[in-house]
Structure 1
Amino acid sequence: MHWYEKLNEYFPVQEMKSKEHMEALLKDRNDIYHKDEGPKHVLMYVETDTFTFIDYLFVSKDARGEGLGHKLIQKLKDKNKPIILEVEPVDYEDTDTEKRLRFYKREGFEHATSIGYKRRSLATKEINPMEILYWSPGHESEELIFNAMKKTYEMIHTYKDNKFYGEKYEPVDNVLKLDDKNDRNVLDGL
């Protein structure tokens, strides 16, 4: 199965970039946008001088429990820079959301509780709240994570959006907010 089909079957439609968008990133932004693919996994990520952003991580069901996800995350941790990713809030009807959060908690990720993130899907037109998780070797501030997320949104998520989707995503300042009042941690109690 093609790498895009694996991702498309696993991730919700509102979180998926189009195949054309991702192929353009791999071609045009190959200085920062990368694909690590094997028979049992697909990892799409952004690597800059100061941080790594995991765009998509897929490990096939038959490989779960083999430590493959841990090995992929460790490979990124070995670069010794903050790692950032987006996750959907826990949906108790979808057990995979809780499993994902447990996995990232085991891997030492923290929830950026001060960052609010709500993006309108161009596929469904719905507003989707997402949570930002991060791992930081130097205990960087959530403000640094926030600025890296803004950079990712502008460089990757909205890359040629009008060309690929026929419309533009909302401006970054409408989507990402730094709000110190949020004290709900999605990793608590897992």
Structure 2
Amino acid sequence: MAAMTGAGLRRGARGIAATCALLILASCGGGTFFGQTREERIANQENPATLARDARRNRTQSSVFDLFSNSDDPNTTIEVNKYLWAASLDVLSFMPVQNADPFSGIIQFGFAAPPGGGRAYQATVYVRDPALDARSLNVALRTRSGAAPRETQRAIEDAILTRARQLRIQDSRL
């Protein structure tokens, strides 16, 4: 086996460097925009919310304690006030719950007449904030013939807020 000269080593190093550069460039492919309009390029881009959701899905937990860490992005996490949630279920307990999603804060109730009342109502409650505040609660009430009177809707919201405050006071005594 003949010993390599300095020129041979340089040629070999250049060949290896060129091969590495080609491999790096080849691995960057796939994102070509040739032949696409500006609108098509914009439509193909992913938005930050999709990227954050996919990152959370693909994230692997390194230990059991990582399950209890609060590493969620506050911009994508929806928090619901537990007192407003429980008070809504308590005040409207005469109605059947059709759908409840504690992560988005929406409770849908079916038609039912209140105790001692003759008119049946259907309600959708939206708890949209972690604060125990009137702005955090939105109640949509309707009858079989259309929208319920605004006064009735306001009375239901007030009853839910009052019950939520009572539940909070009970928790603070414990």
State TM-score, norm by structure 2.
0.24
Higher relative contact order, chain-length normalized (CA < 8 Å, sep 6+): 1
State TM-score, norm by structure 1.
0.23
Whichever structure has more strand as a proportion of its residues is: 1
